[in-house]
Amino acid sequence: MKNRRDVLKYVPALPALADSLLSAQEASPWKPPVGSGKNYLILACDGGGMRGYLSSLLLQKLNQDLQIFGTNNQKIDLYAGTSTGGLIALGLGQGKTIDSVVDLYKGSGAKIFSPLAIQPRCILSAANRAQAGTTEDITALWQVLFDDIGEPSLRTVLEGFIPGNPLLSSFANKVMVATFQLGLSNPSSPNWSPLVIDNFEGSAGANTHLYDAALSTSAAPIYFPPYLHPQFGWCSDGGLFANNPATLAVGRAIEAGVPLSEIVVLSIGTGATPAALPVTKKNRLCFGLSYWADFEPAAPTPPFPLLNAILDGVSASADALCGQLLGAGSANSRYMRVNPALPKSVALDDYSPATLQMFEDTATAYYKTPEWTALEQWIRSTFQN
């Protein structure tokens, strides 16, 4: 149980809750709830850049077949997301249809991931330090590839998708997104720290505007610069600690007073990609940035493997923890994870027509599998109950 406790202690503001929750779990193995009231339904959406298109396709099919969202998306009690999953959660939580979310991914990838021009000031600064005799690694010249300002940008896409920049507190539905507060520019918070932005009653994040929440959760390192949240300071992508926000959402719901016995979680991934970083006796001593930060994909290694390894690792740990808490694999499981396999690794910023078609083909094939049949049966018996 030590590993489970160590992971959950990093849930913001919930160490005591995590400790008591795990103590109860250790004392008594998971059992189906007896006499519980209405299930508290959580939809948790992973981060993964353009792979969010696959997530939205899966949700669109579930809604077509089973009407999982209901009028104004109010069948689901909490929409939770990280990074691209945060965009999905915020859109659905605000009342946008899943069809419109699918269209957003399909039509706006090029606008969201529009490359910046070279940033002269950054390069000149590195050159000056090098000239002064400072040893400079090539990474000093690496700059963010994309931006959240200007035309086009993620912000302009959001402005067109949900005009008016509403406050999260105005949403009819509960939402939460994960971000990583860098903290160094915030005197009241000198250390970086995981952060949840949500609209639960009394939450500090309830006064956050939608665009600030969206840009904070999705500021993926290397791909986007940190985002300056007006209340929480500089923030980066929540995937640094909770790329799969399912366990985080469970903890937040419990903190808000929901009994664990009533919580049901549908966790939507962005596709399981084949990924490995081959190590040999010959190259192991040279495993520096040239391997971990290589932007050129070379099967089975995805581009920028360090970031991808972080995202995959924290997603897997959240999946395991949530499954243990909610009885995954049992006849009365209150947790379901959906994450179909992709045939190849996909960069976060790959919006090419061929990749979008691959997502569509993957989803279509997945609908015909026993796993999808089991998923729909689980939703009928548990998630809609």
- Per-residue pLDDT tens digits for 301-323: 676 677 777 777 788 888 888 98
Could you tell me which residues come within 8 angstroms of residue 77 by beta carbon, excluding any fewer than 6 positions away? 40, 41, 42, 173, 174, 253
Least confident residue range of 72-76, 165-169, 317-321, 358-362: 317-321
Task: Give this prediction's pTM.
Answer: 0.83
Distance (Å, whole) CA 264 – CA 275: 30
The pLDDT-based confidence of 218 (bands split at 50, 70, 90) is very high
Task: Return the percentage of the chain with pLDDT > 90, whole number.
Answer: 55
Query: Span 293-308, mean pLDDT?
Result: 69
Could you tell me which residues come within 8 angstroms of residue 61 by beta carbon, excluding any fewer than 6 positions away? 363, 367
Give the model confidence (pLDDT) of 64-103 as tens digits.
999 999 999 999 999 999 999 999 999 999 999 999 999 9
Query: Span 49-57, mean pLDDT?
Result: 96
pLDDT of residue 196 exceeding 70, the answer is yes
Contact in structure between 248 and 11 (CB atoms under 8 Å)? yes
Q: How is residue 115 annotated by DSSP?
A: B
Distance (Å, whole) CA 330 – CA 340: 21
Q: Which two tokens stand for residue 221?
A: 């390192």
Could you give the maximum distance between any two Cα atoms of the chain, in Å? Answer: 72
Bond into 115 cis (ω within 30): no
| Bigger pLDDT: 359 vs 301 | 359
Task: Return the percentage of the chain with pLDDT > 70, whole number.
Answer: 76
Residue 286: phi and psi, rounded to 5, are -110, 20
Q: Which two tokens stand for residue 227?
A: 């985002």
Query: Span 218-240, mean pLDDT?
Result: 90
